Amino acid sequence: MSHDRRSALRTALSARVRISHPTLGERVYHTRDISDSGIFVVVEDDTWPDIGDQVEVQVQGLPGEAPVLGMKVVRLTPEGFGLEFLNL
């Protein structure tokens, strides 16, 4: 029996994302996976938001400018943090 309580299927996806946080500022990270409900961001430094923090996320490196999406921190792990889409 799985202890994974996620309701959405995850798909591996490595993409650069710019994350804007009210106190941490802007940082560029890479994603590990994406689902219908959110993304997981890999962190290689010591800059971590807190659970419940709201951030703005924009995919980088596309031919055109990607939309800026509101997301909320819902999970922290030693590898990074999980974000949930807001207002979709």
Mean pLDDT to the nearest integer, 45-60: 94
At residue 44, does pLDDT exceed 50?
yes
Q: Which domains does the chain have, with CATH numbers?
A: 11-85 (2.40.10.220)
pLDDT at position 83: 97
Residues ≥6 apart with Cβ < 8 Å to 48: 76, 81
CA distance 6 to 34: 12
Written as one string, the DSSP assignment of 34-86 is: E-SSEEEEE--SS--PPTT-EEEEEE-S-SSPPPPEEEEEEEEETTEEEEEE-
Q: Closest by alpha carbon to 82, among 47, 44, 51? A: 51
- pLDDT tens string 10-40: 899 999 999 999 999 999 999 999 999 999 9
Chain-wide mean pLDDT for the chain? 91
What whole-number percentage of the chain has pLDDT above 90? Answer: 81
